[in-house]
Chains A and B, each alone.
Chain A
Amino acid sequence: MRGIHEGNVTNEGTNRRENGQSTTAGRFEPAGYHTVGDEHGRTIVVLTGPWTLRGINGRANTLSQELEKYARNDGKVVWDCREVESLDNFGALILWRLQGFTRGNAIEARPEHAALCERWAQRNTPPENTRSPRVRPLAALSSIARAAQSHLTGFTTLVGQFVLDVLHLARHGEDIPWKDISATIYEAGVRALGITALVGALVGIVMSYLSSLELRTFGAPSYIVNVLGLSIMRELGPLLAAILVAGRSGSAMAAEFGVMRLTEELDALAAMGISRTVRLVLPKIVALAVALPLLVVWTDAIALFGGMVAAHITLGIGMRGFVYALPSAVPVVNFVLGIVKGAVFGTIIALVACHFGLRIEPNTRSLGIETTNAVVTGITAVIFVDAMFAIGFRGIGLP
């Protein structure tokens, strides 16, 4: 290979150097090449600069295309890699992808660089799976059916285990997780007082303003007490409280299970011989069944207060008169029904949150999906059950 530099130097492509000498210090020179003819009529491709990820920096396609014409196996091209400053896997990949580069075209390279190219020759990239997935309606249907079945079994198991746990705790009172129950009541109940009050008051005011317009045209402003009392105590109070709690606590409970799965805390608990249904699931169900009815009373009171103030402003109904008229206008059974609904909604929200929480797989994507499912399914289930209540109790407490 002696004497190759004495041939005609032709600078090509992106290489801007005056001669073939590689620079060692100073300005950053990108990866490049130039070609030289030798006395045997062969073309010598001299690669220069850093053939690395940063040295090539986005010019991989350009360089590959330019060099492709030299990648022949006819003995007329010789590759000289001795002036390559540094070579990494990326640079080696670009060279290796050139057809014929490794097929004996007298590559001159430093031993450490040759080792890298050798690596690529032995590489093992499995063929890409290019088959586009065919849409098979029957398979899709069966997968939906399987998912439904798995949810049904999971939920039934959860409810069954809850009943068994309750029976167990009835006999072993010392095992009742009082602390967990009380902590969940504080977390899901006490800390929700602010938001339920705000939303309750606003809805009460809106209801009052809208109804007062209608009632004034009918000339029956005093019926505002009936309208507000019935709708808030029977429907809106329980539903508002339940939806807010499903959003707040349902997501928190599902995420808690998910993170405990991610960090293997669920396994740690099992390894200590502690039942996760007794210590994690049961306290949540009991706590929401207790806290939500209390929140319903609170939401009812605040919403009625908001409505009362609005009625006083728009219709001039005295607040004292409003309060006195309430018991006779709305049968007390509506209030009781609202509280019962609260307990049922609380149980449903906790069960749904635990169901989806325990299905979370140990990765962040699943955590997000199942937490969303817990909230959406919780709210949907609450509204669904509310509709069943409305149908089932249609003859009770209504004028």
Chain B
Amino acid sequence: MTGDAIIEMEHIVTRFGRQVVHEDISLTVSRSEILGLVGGSGSGKTTLVREMIGLDQPSEGRVSLFGERLDQIGAEAIAALRNRCGVLFQGGALFSAFTVFENIAFPLQEYRAIEPALIRDLVYMKLAQVGLGPEVATYLPAELSGGMTKRAALARALALEPEVLFLDEPTSGLDPVTAQAFVQHLQSLHRELKFTAVVITHDLDLMRDLCTGLAILADHHIVAKGTAAEVATSSHPFVHAMFSGVRGQRAFGTMAS
């Protein structure tokens, strides 16, 4: 284990029945890196992230989180590792019967090492951190707009001061202004908290503004990995289409040509 690798995946193969999703994928995420995981619909990005947290097991290969092999440590140890991770699910996955306050307080209460008196302060701090006012605390998830749901879900993901953050399409379904603000929030949070992050995204602007590295998933493999400039030189058809298309040109300029 190298000191700075937070997530290491080695020779990952994933099969659902006869359908092969991943074929020999190796990937390392270093401390404080924000890795953008990019790929076409159905290319297995979410599955790869679920394997990183141990929610799914790969058919073959090894996954290490914080230097610990997930297939060798017990369920209890995995749960302890997950305490150090925050996950923002695509649809937010807020508990619909809880208010926003209770949603964010939930992981803090479950952690048990936090005095109840501090939880209130922490919850309102998290809300402010993601740019939500204190009045939102009493809302139920059904009463929130799409952007507010994402922010509230991010606040919950940040509740236990995670060292690693997994974001599944954080800007999908947001209007451009809200998406831009959301990315800026993530940027400033990253400056402040120095977390490591894996971001699944289709948003080219987000890749440009937030990600320090990109990994492109296509044809069951990681076909390109590196900074945006390095990835853009790849000759793989998917990468080429993504960066030299009209939208790619707009976001990344003429880098690809």
Closest residue of A by beta carbon distance from B134: A126
Q: Mark B125-146, 1 if CB is under 8 A from A, else 0.
A: 1101100001001001110000
Residues in chain A near residue B96, CB distance under 8 A: 262, 362-365
User: Is A142 an interface residue when CB atoms closer than 8 A count as contact?
Assistant: no
Within 8 A of A (CB), among B167-189: none
How long is the Cα–Cα vector from A97 to B112 in the complex, in angstroms?
Answer: 20
A126 contacts which of B124, B160, B192 (Cβ < 8 Å)? Answer: B124
Minimum C-beta distance from A116 to chain B (A): 7
A124 contacts B140, CB within 8 Å? no
Would A128 and B161 be within 8 Å (CB), given that A123-B125, A363-B96 are in contact? Answer: no
Closest residue of A by beta carbon distance from B140: A363
Q: Mark A105-147, 1 if CB is under 8 A from B, else 0.
A: 0000000100110011001111010000000000000000000
Minimum C-beta distance from B96 to chain A (A): 4
Q: Mark A37-79, 1 if CB is under 8 A from B, else 0.
A: 0000000000000001110111011000000000000000000
Q: Which of A13-21, A86-94, A189-197 contacts B (4 or more CB under 8 A)?
A: A86-94
Residues in chain B near residue A12, CB distance under 8 A: none
User: Is A150 an interface residue when CB atoms closer than 8 A count as contact?
Assistant: no
Residues in chain B near residue A56, CB distance under 8 A: 113
User: Is A361 an interface residue when CB atoms closer than 8 A count as contact?
Assistant: yes
A90 contacts B128, CB within 8 Å? no
B141 contacts A363, CB within 8 Å? yes
Number of interface residues of B (CB under 8 A): 27
User: Is A314 an interface residue when CB atoms closer than 8 A count as contact?
Assistant: no
Closest residue of A by beta carbon distance from B142: A362
Q: Which of B16-24, B114-122, B222-230 contacts A (4 or more CB under 8 A)?
A: B114-122
Would A54 and B192 be within 8 Å (CB), given that A124-B124, A128-B120 are in contact? Answer: no
How long is the Cα–Cα vector from A56 to B128 in the complex, in angstroms?
Answer: 23
User: Is A366 an interface residue when CB atoms closer than 8 A count as contact?
Assistant: yes
How long is the Cα–Cα vector from A170 to B147 in the complex, in angstroms?
Answer: 47
Residues in chain B near residue A365, CB distance under 8 A: 96-97
Minimum C-beta distance from A334 to chain B (A): 48
A53 contacts B160, CB within 8 Å? yes
How long is the Cα–Cα vector from A128 to B84 in the complex, in angstroms?
Answer: 29
A88 contacts B193, CB within 8 Å? yes
Minimum C-beta distance from A83 to chain B (A): 18
Chain A, interface size category, equals 20 to 34
Q: Mark A308-328, 1 if CB is under 8 A from B, else 0.
A: 000000000000000000000
Minimum C-beta distance from B138 to chain A (A): 10
Q: Mark B76-104, 1 if CB is under 8 A from A, else 0.
A: 00000000100000000001110000000
Residues in chain A near residue B192, CB distance under 8 A: 112, 115-116
How long is the Cα–Cα vector from A235 to B25 in the complex, in angstroms?
Answer: 67
Minimum C-beta distance from A366 to chain B (A): 7
Within 8 A of B (CB), among A362-378: 362-366
Minimum C-beta distance from A57 to chain B (A): 5
How long is the Cα–Cα vector from A128 to B142 in the complex, in angstroms?
Answer: 24
Would A52 and B161 be within 8 Å (CB), given that A120-B125, A128-B120 are in contact? Answer: yes
Minimum C-beta distance from A150 to chain B (A): 19
A88 contacts B113, CB within 8 Å? no
Minimum C-beta distance from B4 to chain A (A): 12
Residues in chain A near residue B118, CB distance under 8 A: 60, 90, 93-94, 97
Main SS of chain A's interface residues?
Answer: helix
Closest residue of B by beta carbon distance from A362: B142
B121 contacts A125, CB within 8 Å? yes
How long is the Cα–Cα vector from A129 to B192 in the complex, in angstroms?
Answer: 32
A123 contacts B121, CB within 8 Å? yes
Closest residue of B by beta carbon distance from A126: B134
Closest residue of A by beta carbon distance from B127: A124
Would A90 and B142 be within 8 Å (CB), given that A54-B84, A60-B118, A364-B96 are in contact? Answer: no
How long is the Cα–Cα vector from A34 to B76 in the complex, in angstroms?
Answer: 34
Residues in chain B near residue A366, CB distance under 8 A: 97
B142 contacts A125, CB within 8 Å? no
Minimum C-beta distance from B61 to chain A (A): 29
Residues in chain B near residue A97, CB distance under 8 A: 118, 121
B115 contacts A364, CB within 8 Å? no
B161 contacts A364, CB within 8 Å? no
Residues in chain B near residue A60, CB distance under 8 A: 113-115, 118
Minimum C-beta distance from B144 to chain A (A): 11
How long is the Cα–Cα vector from A52 to B113 in the complex, in angstroms?
Answer: 12
A123 contacts which of B114, B124, B141, B160 (Cβ < 8 Å)? Answer: B124
Minimum C-beta distance from A29 to chain B (A): 16
Residues in chain B near residue A88, CB distance under 8 A: 161, 193
Would A125 and B120 be within 8 Å (CB), given that A88-B193, A90-B161 are in contact? Answer: yes
A119 contacts B97, CB within 8 Å? no
Minimum C-beta distance from B143 to chain A (A): 9
Residues in chain B near residue A125, CB distance under 8 A: 120-121, 124-125, 134
How long is the Cα–Cα vector from A89 to B122 in the complex, in angstroms?
Answer: 8
Would A53 and B124 be within 8 Å (CB), given that A361-B142, A364-B96 are in contact? Answer: no
How long is the Cα–Cα vector from A125 to B125 in the complex, in angstroms?
Answer: 8
How long is the Cα–Cα vector from A366 to B142 in the complex, in angstroms?
Answer: 12
Closest residue of B by beta carbon distance from A59: B113
23 contacts between A and B (CB under 8 A): A53-B114, A54-B84, A54-B161, A61-B115, A88-B193, A89-B129, A90-B122, A90-B161, A93-B122, A94-B118, A97-B118, A116-B192, A123-B124, A125-B125, A125-B134, A126-B137, A128-B120, A262-B96, A362-B96, A364-B96, A365-B96, A365-B97, A366-B97
**Nearest 4 interchain pairs by C-beta:** A365-B97, A58-B113, A363-B96, A362-B142
